Amino acid sequence: MPSQQYVEGMQEMRSHFGSAADQWIKAIHDIYPEFAKINVEFPFGELYRRDIVDDKTRELCTVAALTVQGFALPELKVHVKGALNTGSRREEILEIITQMIAYCGFPGATNALLAAKEVFDEIDNASDVAPKS
């Protein structure tokens, strides 16, 4: 039986990522359930549920941090979607990534920019409803 913190953490994740939250955690759970538990309970069951800053700000901060790390591109893509889902505009996300040039250099920021574009393209292509011939 999952803890209350896990249940609340999954609710928080779903509010940011939709059904992708369940897919992400299932993939991690299949490898090591304890890692998935910690991944839900600590950041999303505890930190993300605090009411000091809003969800949009949290996601933009996360985009900045993952951009500076430079190696967390899968996680960055998840949080770019989270930023969009919590009210950020594409231009705001791109501006945050651009600002990170000063902290991680051009290679890290360029990789983040390309990762964000992949997310934007995925969203744009999913909304295309052109008939197939």
> What separation in angstroms does the CA of 68 have from each of 15, 98, 100, 105?
25, 11, 6, 8
**pLDDT tens digits, residue range 48-92?**
999 999 999 999 999 999 999 999 999 999 999 999 999 999 999
Task: Answer for the pair 91, 120: CB distance below 8 angstroms, yes or no.
Answer: no
pLDDT the model gives residue 132: 45
CA 55 to chain centre: 11
**pLDDT tens digits, residue range 93-112?**
999 999 999 999 999 999 99
Q: 53-128: what fold?
A: AhpD-like (1.20.1290)
Other CB atoms closer than 10 Å to residue 60's CB: what's the count? 22
Other CB atoms closer than 10 Å to residue 96's CB: what's the count? 22
Would you say residue 130 has pLDDT above 70?
A: no
Work out the widest C-alpha separation in the chain, in whole angstroms: 52
Domain boundaries, the chain: 1-52, 53-128
Would you say residue 131 has pLDDT above 70?
A: no
Report the alpha-carbon distance of residue 4 to residue 44 in Å, rounded. Answer: 12
